[in-house]
């Protein structure tokens, strides 16, 4: 019989920066076991690597020598076959190598797989005694007396004189026995019965729905098993969105389908996880990055083995290996942490709709402050909009009072930022023994230390951003790369030792509050106080147990938590993020402020918010005051349309970084020229090239940074353009010592 025809061939993706897939031959002994979604061990160039089986292939179409796989790493696929078109779509859209895309979708740091070990049998031992020839067979058997080994291990020892086929023939003779063992499995405790604050999770039952909830559920339900659709659930904070998610999840499970629930990264101890576990118990799998490797493996297997019907996690939960998906829910859909900032650069919120579509499922995006892009999709009838306008139990939204900081110019220093209005409100709140939250937007806050002589700011030598004073440690620190300088540092422009501090951080606010309210217990939640593992949980526990009267915090505290005793929220300076060089600055400011305001008054008492700002008339501030996202949208969309920003256009950003300044600039310039050539020839009117320009943060960790922004009115024209640019000019992109990244639909453009 013709050998070619009887052989089995597979298509394999390898985790390397390559955009093709590769064909391998499958030795006979693996033929019955191999399936799409399995991992194989393959030779690749001069290396050997894990690869992912994407399907079976025909050898005829390939010229040249086809290599055989070296080993099969799983006896069962580690992701279902029907996820392969999804991986292909994502890899294509984000112009990212498919093997690397799959690798980053699988639980990280866990090189887990079922390994096949060989052990010698008594017959094998007898054979060695009688066999006089010094054969490869004998060598292998002798080494197995000392220790059981895998094919990989045997190969490491004997090289190619121990081919898999020889082993399998020895096995057939009965000299060795195969067994499997899981690699990467470690011991760990299950967390299902306690939440992350260590409190018991008691099973609960659904609430009787409110009229609004019932009507929203009715709309979703009517299309739940009717093919793909995306819903945007816009519901004010505390309007019962989570109860809606749980209701839909229950219905989906009833039909034998499964559910993915995504939550933003920050919610380490998200309330929602606790509530889902209370409602659904053992059937919930959790895919957090905070889990230990063994735990993550365990949760992944629970899904694969169909013991879990619901997967909850941050953006990587998008890749939960469900074969029969019914619904994907994205909570806090406006949150930018759904965008991966690594190489893959996928947006899990956008991909939620794609995966749902390929699985014929539904996607639900929920938020109190929906993103402009998502609401635009409702307006243009791509999504169906659903609304929860009232808080549960008729709890009213907090009352937001705006304090105009422009009137406070005469006050000096830090105290200027604790206005008399805020001070009074805190005092009142302390009197009724309720908790106060003070919020400072640290992101981008210019905690500027400047030279009194020449006014130059103290900057990080590597990152070109200003350093922040850390009083406790007596140092100035760079928040991007960690570089630090002693407080005794002199100005690196003129050498003067008179450095003055403008601006301030949470530490300063805490000190000021302590001096103003010496009897109050304060705690601070920011990057510095939560560095140690478990410290955030400890601080949150303190809030929950009322061991703190005043909580001073950053973004970390803005979302996902539900503390009923916080009745006052003070926003120290609402404007900070408004000044970012980014077209989403207004949107992100609005969302952040509305979310912080939403933290107040979650219990039975009405909440109060003091919002201090230098821009009391800005529409982002005014819409946040009213927690009215449509009001914000209606103004922001006009600005976006005027400047042809998304959602009216799509963006692809090329980032060029390198330690060699000249080389980085030259690479950026070369790619820029290629862009211009290509626009000249093609798609002239619909593609616009911005740059190359130095990035707003021109240097991070000694890397000089440049960027080119490609703007396209039509998504597919833009993608074709980017593909052509990249794949026809690989040389221009692959420059030694220079990192080029293609960011499709960029969000972090600094
Ligand atoms: P959101 O997710 O919109 O912030 P939640 O789902 O957390 O709102 O609901 C707010 C509070 O109201 C929660 O404590 C929740 O348990 C409660 N709740 C939700 N739905 C109902 C209902 N139908 N009846 C009574 N209480 C409800
Ligand atoms: Zn730095
Ligand atoms: Zn100076």
Contacts 24+ apart (CB under 8 A), 84-87: 84/36, 84/37, 84/54, 84/55, 85/358, 86/354, 86/355, 86/358, 86/359, 87/13
241 pocket-lining for ligand 1 (C-beta < 6 Å): yes
The answer to whether 505 and 468 are in contact (CB under 8 A) is yes
Q: Is 247 in the pocket of ligand 1 (CB under 6 A)?
A: no
Nearest ligand 1 atom to the CA of 244 is 6
Q: Which atom of ligand 1 is nearest to the CA of 562?
A: 7
**450, β-bridge pairs:** 457, 500
Ligand 1 neighbourhood includes 214 CB (under 6 angstroms): no
In angstroms, rounded to a whole number, what is the distance separating the alpha carbons of residues 31 and 150? 19
Buried b (16+ CB within 10 A) or exposed e, 24-40: bbbbeebeeebbbbbbb
Structure tokens at 230: 């995306």
Residue 463 has pLDDT above 70, yes or no: no
Asked if the model's pLDDT at residue 169 lies above 60, the reply is yes
Q: Which atom of ligand 1 is nearest to the CA of 243?
A: 6
Report the distance separating Cα 67 and Cα 677, nearest Å. Answer: 41
Q: Is the CB of 238 under 6 A from ligand 1?
A: yes
Question: Contact at 8 Å (CB) between 76 and 304?
Answer: yes
Question: Which ligand neighbours the alpha carbon of 494 most closely?
Answer: 3
Q: What is the pLDDT of residue 32?
A: 83
Determine which of 139-153, 188-202, 617-631 has the lowest per-residue pLDDT on average. Answer: 188-202
Which residue would you say has higher pLDDT here, 749 or 71? 71
User: How many Å apart are CA 108 and CA 574, to the nearest integer?
Assistant: 37
Q: Which ligand is nearest to the CA of 702?
A: 2
For ligand 2, the distance from its centroid to the CA atom of residue 454, given in whole angstroms, is 22
* Closest ligand relative to 213 C-alpha: 1
**How far is ligand 1, taken at its centre, from the CA of residue 215, in Å?**
15
- Tell how far the Cα of 484 is from the centroid of ligand 2, in angstroms: 8
Lowest mean per-residue pLDDT among 403-417, 619-633, 638-652: 403-417
Instruction: Please state which of the ranges 322-326, 451-455, 735-739 shows the lowest mean pLDDT.
Output: 451-455
Residue 209 CB less than 6 A away from ligand 1: yes
CB 560 near ligand 1, within 6 Å? no
Span from the CA of 444 to the centroid of ligand 2 (angstroms): 14
- Rounded distance between C-alpha atoms, residue 565 and residue 543, angstroms: 9
Q: Which ligand is nearest to the CA of 456?
A: 3
Beta carbons of 345 and 338 less than 8 angstroms apart? no
Q: Whose CA is nearest to atom 5 of ligand 1?
A: 240
| Pick from 137-141, 175-179, 395-399, 682-686: least confident | 682-686
Dihedrals phi, psi of 355, to nearest 5 degrees = -65, -40
Asked if residue 601 has its Cβ within 6 Å of ligand 1, the reply is: no
Q: Do residues 99 and 15 lie in contact, with contact meaning Cβ atoms separated by under 8 Å?
A: yes
Residue that has been written with the tokens 């300088």 in this structure: 485
Q: Which ligand is nearest to the CA of 492?
A: 3
Q: What is the mean pLDDT of residues 568-572?
A: 90
From the options 3.40.50.300, 3.30.70.360, 1.10.10.10, 3.40.1360.10, give the CATH code of 650-744.
Answer: 3.30.70.360
In sequence order, what are the residues at sequence separation of 6 or more whose Cβ sits closer than 8 angstroms to the Cβ of residue 25? 7, 8, 9, 59, 66, 67, 68, 69
Q: 610-627: per-residue pLDDT in tens?
A: 998 877 888 999 999 888
Question: Candidates 206, 243, 559: which one to mutate for ligand 1, based on the most atoms within 8 Å of Cβ?
Answer: 243
Q: Which residues pair with 609 in a beta bridge?
A: 400, 569
List every span in the chain annotated with CATH 3.40.1440.60.
Answer: 9-108
Ligand 2 center–CA 443 separation, angstroms: 15
Q: Which residue has the higher pLDDT, 166 or 142?
A: 142
Does the pLDDT of residue 744 top 50, yes or no? yes
Taking only the tens place, the pLDDT of each residue in 650-665 is: 999 999 999 999 999 9
Cis bond leading into 692, ω under 30°?
Answer: yes
- Ligand 1 pocket, 553 CB below 6 A? no
Residue 444 confidence (pLDDT): 41
Supply the pLDDT for residue 1: 38
For 177, the enclosing helix (H) or strand (E) is strand 176-183
Percent residues over pLDDT 90 in the chain: 42
Tens digits of residue pLDDT in 290-311:
677 777 888 898 999 999 999 9
CA distance 631 to 624: 9
From 207, 209, 217, 240, mutation site for ligand 1 pocket: most ligand atoms within 8 A of C-beta: 240
* 240 close to ligand 1 (CB < 6 Angstrom): yes
Ligand 1 contact, 243 CB (< 6 A): yes
Q: Is the dihedral of CA 20, 79, 259, 298 positive or negative?
A: negative
**Whether residue 708 has pLDDT greater than 50:** yes
Q: How far is the CA of 498 from the centre of ligand 2 (A)?
A: 22
- The token pair at 388 is 């929860």
Instruction: State the average pLDDT over residues 318-338.
Output: 95
pLDDT band at 195 (very low <50, low <70, confident <90, very high): low
Q: What is the pLDDT of residue 682?
A: 56
Q: d(Cα 431, Cα 425) in Å, to the nearest integer?
A: 10
Going by alpha carbons, the residue nearest to atom 20 of ligand 1 is 240
Distance 24 CA to ligand 2 centre (A): 46
Evaluate if residue 366 carries a pLDDT over 50.
yes
Q: How far is the CA of 493 from the centre of ligand 3 (A)?
A: 5
542 token code pair = 């303190």
Residue entry with tokens 């690869």: 51
Distance 238 CA to ligand 1 centre (A): 6
Domain 395-445+504-640 is in which class? alpha beta
Distances (CA, A) of 207 to 189, 210, 283: 31, 9, 20
Q: In the chain, what percentage of residues exceed pLDDT 70?
A: 85
Query: Any idea how long the chain is?
Result: 750
210 lines ligand 1 (CB under 6 A): yes
Q: Does residue 390 line the site of ligand 1, with CB under 6 A?
A: no
User: What spacing in Å lies between the alpha carbon of 237 and ligand 1's midpoint?
Assistant: 9
Is the pLDDT at 5 greater than 60? The verdict is no
The predicted pLDDT at position 271 comes to: 75
pLDDT band of residue 390 (cuts 50, 70, 90) is confident
pLDDT of residue 712: 92
Instruction: Write down the architecture of domain 9-108 according to CATH.
Output: 3-Layer(aba) Sandwich (3.40)
Q: Is 237 in the pocket of ligand 1 (CB under 6 A)?
A: yes
Contacts of 439 (CB under 8 A, 6+ apart): 553, 554, 557, 558, 569, 570, 571, 572, 596
CA of 393 to the centre of ligand 1 (A): 9
Q: What pLDDT was estimated at residue 548? A: 93
> Partners of 524 in the beta sheet?
552
Predicted local confidence at residue 485, as pLDDT: 86
pLDDT digits (tens, 9 = 90+) for 252-269: 999 999 999 999 875 554
Q: Where in the chain is the domain with CATH 3.40.50.300?
A: 211-393, 395-445+504-640
User: Tell me: domain 211-393, CATH 3.30.2400.10, correct?
Assistant: no
Contacts 24+ apart (CB under 8 A), 82-89: 82/323, 82/358, 82/359, 83/37, 83/319, 83/321, 84/36, 84/37, 84/54, 84/55, 85/358, 86/354, 86/355, 86/358, 86/359, 87/13, 88/54, 89/354, 89/358
Is residue 239 lining ligand 1, measured as CB closer than 6 Å?
yes
> Who has greater pLDDT, 504 or 227?
227
- 661-681 and 715-727 helices cross at what angle (nearest 10)? 130
242 Cβ inside 6 Å of ligand 1: yes
**445 CA to centre of ligand 3 in angstroms:** 22
Strand partners, 114: 182
Mean pLDDT of 399-403: 91
Ligand that lies nearest to the alpha carbon of residue 481, given by its number in the listed order: 2
Distance 532 CA to ligand 2 centre (A): 22
Numbered ranges of CATH 3.30.70.360 in the chain: 650-744
Cis status, amide bond into 236, omega within 30 of 0: no
- For residue 392 and ligand 1, the question of a CB distance below 6 A is answered with yes
Within 8 A by CB and 6+ apart from 618, the residues are 575, 578, 586
User: What's the distance, CA 595 to chain centroid?
Assistant: 19
Residue 186 has pLDDT above 50, yes or no: no
Higher-confidence residue of 477 and 66: namely: 66
Only one residue has tokens 């020229």, namely 673
Choose the weakest-confidence range: 393-407, 574-588, 683-697: 574-588
Atom nearest to 368 CA in ligand 1 = 3
Q: For 641, list phi and psi in degrees, rounded to 5.
A: -65, -45
Question: Has residue 202 got a pLDDT over 70?
Answer: yes
Q: 278 CB less than 6 Å from ligand 1?
A: no
Q: What is the largest CA-CA distance in the chain?
A: 100
pLDDT band at 599 (very low <50, low <70, confident <90, very high): confident
The predicted-structure confidence for 521-562, as pLDDT tens digits, reads as follows 999 988 788 888 778 888 888 888 889 999 998 877 776 567
Q: With contact defined as beta carbons under 8 Å apart, do 482 and 475 qualify?
A: no
Reference 573, options 393, 684, 388, 422; nearest CA is: 422
Query: How many angstroms is it from 487 CA to the middle of ligand 3?
Result: 15
Distance from the alpha carbon of residue 477 to the mean position of ligand 2, in angstroms = 8
pTM value is: 0.83
Ligand closest in space to the Cα of 563 = 1
Q: Kindly give the distance from the C-alpha atom of residue 490 to the centroid of ligand 3, in angstroms, as a whole number.
A: 8
**Mutation choice for ligand 1 from 270, 392, 560, CB with most ligand atoms inside 8 A:** 392
């Amino acid at each position: 019989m013709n050998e070619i025809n009887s052989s089995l061939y597979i298509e394999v993706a390898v985790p390397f920066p390559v955009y093709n897939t590769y064909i391998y031959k499958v030795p006979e002994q693996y033929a019955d076991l191999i399936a799409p979604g399995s991992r194989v061990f393959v030779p690749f160039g001069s290396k050997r690597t894990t690869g992912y089986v994407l399907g079976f292939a025909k050898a005829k179409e390939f010229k040249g020598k086809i290599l055989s796989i070296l080993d099969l790493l799983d006896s069962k696929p580690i992701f279902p076959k029907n996820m392969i078109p999804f991986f292909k779509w994502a890899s294509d859209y984000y112009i990212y190598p498919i093997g690397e895309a799959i690798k980053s979708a699988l639980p990280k740091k866990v090189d887990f797989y079922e390994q096949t070990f060989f052990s010698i049998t008594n017959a094998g031992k007898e054979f060695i005694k009688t066999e006089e020839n010094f054969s490869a067979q004998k060598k292998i058997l002798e080494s197995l007396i000392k220790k059981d080994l895998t094919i990989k291990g045997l190969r490491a020892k004997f090289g190619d004189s121990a081919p898999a086929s020889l082993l399998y023939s020895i096995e057939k003779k009965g000299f060795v026995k195969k067994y499997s063992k899981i690699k990467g499995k470690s011991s760990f405790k299950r967390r299902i019965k306690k939440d992350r604050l260590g409190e018991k999770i008691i099973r609960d039952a659904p609430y009787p729905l409110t009229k609004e909830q019932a009507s929203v559920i009715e709309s979703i339900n009517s299309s739940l098993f009717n093919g793909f659709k995306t819903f945007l659930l816009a519901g004010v904070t505390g309007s019962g969105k989570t109860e809606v998610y749980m209701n839909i999840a229950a219905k989906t499970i009833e039909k034998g389908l499964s559910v993915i629930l995504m939550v933003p990264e920050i919610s380490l101890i998200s309330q929602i996880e606790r509530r889902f576990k209370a409602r659904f118990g053992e059937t919930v799998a959790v895919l957090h990055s905070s889990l230990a490797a063994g735990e993550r493996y365990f949760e992944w297997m629970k899904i694969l083995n169909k013991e879990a019907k619901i997967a909850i996690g941050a953006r990587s939960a998008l890749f939960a290996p469900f074969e029969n998906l019914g619904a994907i829910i994205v909570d806090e859909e406006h949150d930018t942490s759904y965008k991966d900032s690594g190489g893959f650069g996928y947006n899990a919120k956008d991909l939620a709709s794609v995966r749902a579509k390929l699985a014929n499922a539904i996607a639900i995006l929920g938020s109190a402050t929906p993103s402009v892009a998502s609401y635009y999709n409702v307006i243009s009838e791509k999504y169906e909009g659903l609304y929860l306008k009232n808080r549960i139990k008729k709890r009213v939204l907090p009352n937001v009072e705006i304090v105009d900081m422009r009137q406070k110019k005469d006050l000096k220093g830090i105290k200027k930022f604790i206005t008399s209005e805020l001070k009074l409100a805190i005092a009142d709140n302390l009197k009724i023994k309720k908790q106060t939250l003070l919020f400072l937007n640290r992101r981008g806050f210019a905690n500027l230390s400047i030279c009194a002589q020449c006014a130059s700011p103290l900057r990080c030598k590597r990152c070109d951003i200003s350093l922040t004073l850390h009083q406790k440690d007596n140092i100035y620190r760079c928040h991007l790369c960690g570089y630090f300088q002693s407080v005794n540092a002199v100005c690196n422009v003129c050498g003067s030792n008179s450095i003055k501090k403008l601006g301030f951080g949470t530490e300063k606010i805490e000190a000021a509050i302590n001096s103003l309210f010496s009897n109050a217990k304060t705690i601070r939640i920011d990057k510095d106080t939560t560095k140690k593992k478990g410290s955030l949980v400890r601080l949150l526990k303190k809030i929950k147990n009322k061991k703190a009267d005043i909580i001073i915090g950053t973004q970390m505290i803005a979302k996902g938590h539900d503390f009923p005793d916080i009745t006052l929220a003070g926003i120290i300076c609402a404007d900070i993020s408004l000044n970012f060089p980014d077209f989403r600055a207004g949107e992100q400011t609005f969302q952040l402020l509305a979310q912080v305001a939403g933290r107040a008054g979650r219990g039975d008492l009405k909440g109060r918010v003091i919002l201090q700002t230098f821009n009391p008339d800005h529409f982002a501030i005014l819409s946040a005051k009213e927690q009215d996202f449509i009001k914000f949208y209606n103004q922001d969309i006009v600005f976006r349309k005027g400047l042809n920003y998304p959602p009216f256009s799509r963006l692809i950003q090329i980032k060029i970084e390198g330690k060699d300044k000249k080389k980085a600039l030259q690479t950026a310039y070369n790619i820029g020229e290629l862009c211009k050539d290509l626009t000249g020839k093609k798609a002239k009117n619909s593609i616009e090239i911005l740059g190359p320009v130095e990035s707003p943060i021109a240097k991070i960790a000694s890397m000089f940074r440049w960027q080119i922004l490609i703007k396209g009115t039509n998504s597919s024209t833009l993608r074709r353009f980017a593909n052509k640019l990249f794949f026809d000019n690989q040389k221009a992109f692959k420059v030694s010592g220079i990192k080029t990244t293609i960011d499709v639909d960029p969000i972090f453009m600094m």
